Amino acid sequence: MTHVVACLDGLDPEYLDAVETPGWDRIADRGNAGTCDGLVPSLTNVNNVGIVTASFPAENGVTGNTYYDPERDEQAYMNDPSLLRCRTELQRRADRGETVAALVAKDKLVGMVGQDCDLAASAEDPPDWLADAVGDPPGIYSGGASAWLMDAAVHVLDERDPDVLYVSTTDVIPHKHGPDEAAAEEWVRELDAGVAALAERSDALVATADHGMNYKSVCVDLEAALDREQLDAEVVRLITDEHTYHHQNLGGAAYVYLEDGSADALAPLADIDGVAEVLPAEEAAERFRLPTDAIGDALVLGTESSVFGPVEEGVRGSVELRSHGSHHERRVPYVASTGTTLDYNVEAFRGLE
């Protein structure tokens, strides 16, 4: 019996609504489809780990693309599998003797999601045998990277026949193009064809997304705002990773670690146009199921049109990009051949049964 879970990176429901998707619709007709909540922060690492562990960050420990280590007083990318606080569904299935495989677009996810897999590979750095079979990948920042990954997943199902396959694509297209642009429409069609091909080869499939996407026009410099309030603090912009071409490390969520004082001192941040909410750590942990020991003193969330990052002067500036990270990008689509209903994307593996 072959089970497939696919995470379609950045597939905001608006992109799906803008294009005819016959493959998605066929799966929905015999199963179910809808929208569900992803995790907040609405980021790649947080949601991919949430999906493969079937858990929230409070359990799995992954709280962003980047984290801050107070003991070492440094920020680092959250890619090391040792940071996971629980096992993945793929590991659990491997323990039961099932053959498991993970194919991801970005190499940064291989260690996190591919532990103990019989096959774990990325489109960014695929093994020679996979590139020989499917063709050389077009590059991680290419519009064709997700389509290549889908072709690779179909090849793995055909030739390796794993019991379980996890697939995670890339969101370069929705970062660069709105739902009504030709490049985005082609991207959705390719994803639709890929999902349909995977469904035809599997006994059960659940496809969902890690986060949505919104156009951003405002940038808020939280560091400058804290300096203005004479507060010593470490700001962790949670979207930060090595893939700056996608999002320029500008996203709508940040943790703030205060040198002294309580989160009450951060109240003035909420008055800035472009800051939606300033949540003390305990409130943020309860609302979004985050670990209180790994999110600093507060979670700051942007508005639907804002991101956090440096500006040339003052605390607010103008930007033009598409990005994510806040609660405004948490709604995602799903389709399940099994007929299951998802409330959260982290229920995808359970939805296979």
The 10s digit of each residue's pLDDT in 289-344 is: 999 999 999 999 999 999 999 999 999 999 999 999 999 999 999 999 999 999 99
b/e per residue 296-326 (b: at least 16 CB within 10 A): bbbbbbbbeebbbbebeeebbbebebbbbbb
Pairing of the two strands 316-323 and 214-220: antiparallel
Residues in CB range of 15: below 8 A, 6 or more apart? 174, 179, 184, 187, 188, 213
222: nearest Cα among 293, 296, 292, 328? 296
Please, are residues 12 and 320 in contact by the beta-carbon 8 Å criterion?
Answer: no
Q: Look at the pTM and tell me if it is higher than 0.95.
A: yes
What's the rounded mean pLDDT across residues 45-67?
Answer: 98
pLDDT level of residue 243 (50, 70, 90 thresholds): confident
Give the span between the Cα atoms of 175 and 15, in whole angstroms.
12
Give the span between the Cα atoms of 214 and 248, in whole angstroms.
15
Give the span between the Cα atoms of 154 and 156, in whole angstroms.
5
Looking at the structure, give the CATH architecture of the domain made up of residues 3-212+330-352.
3-Layer(aba) Sandwich (3.40)
pLDDT level of residue 266 (50, 70, 90 thresholds): very high
Please, are residues 53 and 60 in contact by the beta-carbon 8 Å criterion?
Answer: yes
Please, are residues 342 and 336 in contact by the beta-carbon 8 Å criterion?
Answer: yes
Pairing of the two strands 298-302 and 253-258: antiparallel
Give residue-wise pLDDT tens across range 88-106.
999 999 999 999 999 999 9
pLDDT level of residue 118 (50, 70, 90 thresholds): very high
236 beta partners = 255
**Domain ranges within the chain, ordered by starting residue:** 3-212+330-352, 214-323
Q: Which CATH superfamily is domain 214-323 in?
A: Domain 2, Phosphonoacetate Hydrolase (3.30.1360.110)
pLDDT of residue 133: 97
pLDDT of residue 242: 83
Residues in CB range of 322: below 8 A, 6 or more apart? 174, 175, 176, 177, 178, 213, 214, 215, 216
Phi, psi of 61 (to 5 degrees): 85, -5
Helix ranges (DSSP H) in 125-280:
128-134, 145-159, 172-176, 182-200, 222-228, 244-247
pLDDT of residue 17: 97
159 pLDDT above the threshold of 80: yes
More confident residue, 156 or 139: 156
Give the span between the Cα atoms of 145 and 149, in whole angstroms.
6
128 pLDDT above the threshold of 80: yes
The percentage of residues in the chain with a pLDDT greater than 90, rounded to a whole number, is: 93
What's the rounded mean pLDDT across residues 136-142?
Answer: 91
pLDDT of residue 143: 87
Residue 220 vs residues 259, 273, 317: alpha-carbon distances, Å: 21, 8, 7
Mean predicted lDDT score pLDDT of the chain: 96
Give the span between the Cα atoms of 294 and 284, in whole angstroms.
11
- Residue 292 DSSP code: G
Give the span between the Cα atoms of 181 and 82, in whole angstroms.
40
Give the span between the Cα atoms of 40 and 328, in whole angstroms.
9
What's the rounded mean pLDDT across residues 206-223?
Answer: 98
